[in-house]
Amino acid sequence: MEKYSEEIKIRGHYTDLQGRLIVKSLCDLFNDVSNEQTLLLGFDVPTLNAQGLTWMLHKLHIVMNRVPEQGDTVIFETWPSGIDRFFAFRDYRVLSKEGEVLIHATSEWMVIDINRRRPVRLPACVTGNAASCVDVVREIAFDLDTKNMPEEYENSRHFTATYDNIDFNKHVTQATYTRWVTNSLSYEFLKEHELRELEIVYEHEVLPDDGVNAENHVIEKDDRVVVYHRVKNDALDKVHCLAVSVWNKRKEA
């Protein structure tokens, strides 16, 4: 499968107070480049919408070797990396101009019926490209076992789904979930630690003006910190997403 690539300069509004690319911006950029390739391949959102369908993300796994910084010019690559019944896989890489792999990621997508909000079999415009994915090697796998998550979460922060959180599917963007997950952690934690890995499983939509509680459970393991995340609705009877993140302490913190 031919890769789509795009050279992108890391602007200040993509970064945190220390000038490092934040994961929410990373996911927005992933979406930008994948939208461009789906348009070229003929299974973009407008094409699916004409059939009463749309894309919805189910899983995302990101591994960061080195985080790009403000002013860096990097290359974003993306490509379809396979299908499995109801799921289509898409991989990503972010490289330096010298060819160093800074970030790699894999994602799992469903096609859903817009009105019924239920998954459907992948349409022909998607499966027709699957033959070219046969020999594609996926660089990372999905590891998060959602049935083996902590029962207790000691920290929680409340968020509301505002207008600028909503995407073309009329629900909260997948990138916003990553912002809620990471921002459930304290200012001091985020200032002193650097994200190295994030895996997230999306369970239920968040709709406009819904309130959510982003919970976390922190475990220190040697020289790294592992954080388990859960986002629930205000009534605490529905899980919107589950995630695990891995952090290193910043050397200069």
Q: What is the pLDDT of residues 56-103, one digit of tens each?
A: 999 999 999 999 999 999 999 999 998 988 899 999 999 999 999 999
Nearest one of 75, 71, 94, 78 to 13, comparing CA atoms: 71
Question: What does the pLDDT average to over 134-157?
Answer: 89
pLDDT, tens digit, 9 for 90 and up, residues 41-50:
999 999 999 9
pLDDT at 131 exceeding the cut of 90: no
Model pLDDT, residue 135:
66
Q: Which CATH superfamily is domain 143-253 in?
A: Hotdog Thioesterase (3.10.129.10)
Give the dihedral sign, CA 121/122/125/130. Answer: negative
Question: What does the pLDDT average to over 99-117?
Answer: 96
Q: What is the mean pLDDT of the chain?
A: 94
Give the architecture (CATH level 2) of 1-142: Roll (3.10)
CA distance linking residue 233 with residue 213, whole number of Å: 6
Q: In the numeric block, which tokens belong to residue 172?
A: 């909260």
pTM as predicted:
0.95
pLDDT at 253 exceeding the cut of 50: no
CA distance linking residue 204 with residue 224, whole number of Å: 30
Domain ranges of the chain: 1-142, 143-253
Q: How confident is the model at residue 180 (pLDDT cuts 50, 70, 90)?
A: very high
Terminus-to-terminus CA distance in the chain, angstroms?
Answer: 42
Nearest one of 151, 161, 56 to 109, comparing CA atoms: 56
